[in-house]
Amino acid sequence: MSGQVLRDGAIIDPSASRKLPSPEGKPTVTVLDYGSGNVRSAVRALERAGAEVILSSKPEDVLNADGLVVPGVGAFETVMRELKAVDGIRLIGRRVAGGRPVLGICVGLQVLFEAGVEHGTEAEGIGEWPGKVELLPADVVPHMGWNTVKVPEGSTLFAGVENERFYFVHSYGVQEWNFDVIQPRMAPPLVTWSEHGAPFIAAVENGPLCATQFHPEKSGDAGARLLRNWVQALRKPEATPEPGTTETPADGSA
């Protein structure tokens, strides 16, 4: 493992051993660029929330940023295929394994589950959480517009906006949650629910991994506050290198 650095519990590549720089000292956020429609609104919303934002699929950008946002528009299977094309699934897994924050949005939430079923076809998901994405049993789909959410106690993502409405655009959702906590010291994930035809998962907070079914970037002041909560949580002091490891200076000098 010569030349590699231990950071946040994970061995990462030499090219990804340093944090992305922010000239203004802001938290850095990479929005994963894998062809998911118009993500400019998400970039602008994150910038307004106080982040230094880039749109990229380069491994060094994905791994080094303080936070990674995984957007998602379209069909579950298509998003999975596009993520695989840019090695996004492995990179997301590397961040989660190393305790590095990730935020999924809309289909970016859905693909974090085990599977998605659309038009009778089941596609494999990333599998960070158990569960299957299925058609909402409502008289009218897609579920499009503003809706309330039921936020659990202790949420940091929804701090200050627990009773607000958020903007949804989707026909499919996860309608059951069965997550077994097998580690005694592991805090159970916080699950936020909404309803359209039946209850469905509106958001999950699970350590470094968070996701929303709604679009915070389209949810007005409430969504802006939620994104600001997430960005502010990225503000951490620089990690101290593990004993016996070294970091290469940014200019490559020794």
Q: Which residues are catalytic?
A: 106, 215, 217
Give the Cα separation of 41 and 46 in Å (integer): 9
Encoding tokens for residue 179?
């997550």
Instruction: Give kind and range of the element (H or E) at residue 121.
Output: strand 121-124
Give the Cα separation of 100 and 66 in Å (integer): 7
What sign for the dihedral angle of Cα 133, 80, 76, 224? Answer: positive
Residue in 131, 125, 109, 134 with CA at minimum distance from that of residue 177: 131
Across the beta sheet with 121-124, what order do the strands follow? Answer: 121-124, 113-118, 129-135, 172-174
- The letter for the amino acid at 97 is A
